[in-house]
Amino acid sequence: MKHFFYIVYPIFFFAMTYGIYVSYKNAEGLVDNNYYNNGTRYFQEKATEKKMALEISRPDTLKQGSNTIQISAKRHGKPFEHAVLSLFIGNLSTTGYDSTMTMQEASPGMYQASATIPFKGIWFVRIDLRQQQLMTSRKWFFDVR
């Protein structure tokens, strides 16, 4: 039985050491370095959104091929005009098709952009809205079939 432990212990020690080394070298940065300030800013933005009664509509479903994505933005129930909206679209399985574009104001409070979805799968859509004191985002997932 002692011989068994003499063999298992070095293997276990090597596996643990190698696992720690690999996890240290391949750290993904899942923990935010400045989490307190970022968290404080997040709650301030949410309070500002609530004060403004901000509403951002979800885009219609996405399809494979060319898409015209329209977003409605309202403040206190009225069209939110002259805001800067950027649209990010990315596929969950690969970053090669990620794209970011500025949305154009088609009519008061209605913003649109064109995007191409080259293949089926799960696609992530994020809208970033910026205007003066407000910076906020909305995120959605779409299953493109």
Print pLDDT tens along the chain (145 aa).
788 888 888 899 999 999 888 888 876 666 667 778 878 888 888 888 898 899 999 998 889 999 999 999 999 999 988 889 999 999 988 888 899 999 999 999 999 999 999 999 999 999 999 887 788 889 999 999 8
What is the assigned CATH class of domain 55-144? mainly beta
Within 10 angstroms of residue 20's Cβ, the number of other Cβ atoms is 10
pTM to 2 decimals?
0.70
Q: Which helix (H) or strand (E) element contains residue 129?
A: strand 121-131
Question: How far, in whole angstroms, is CA 88 from its chain's centroid?
Answer: 8
Q: Which residues contact 122 (CB under 8 A, 6 or more apart)?
A: 91, 92, 93, 141, 142, 143, 144
β-bridge mates for residue 91, sequence order: 123
CA atoms of 33 and 103, how far apart (whole Å): 31
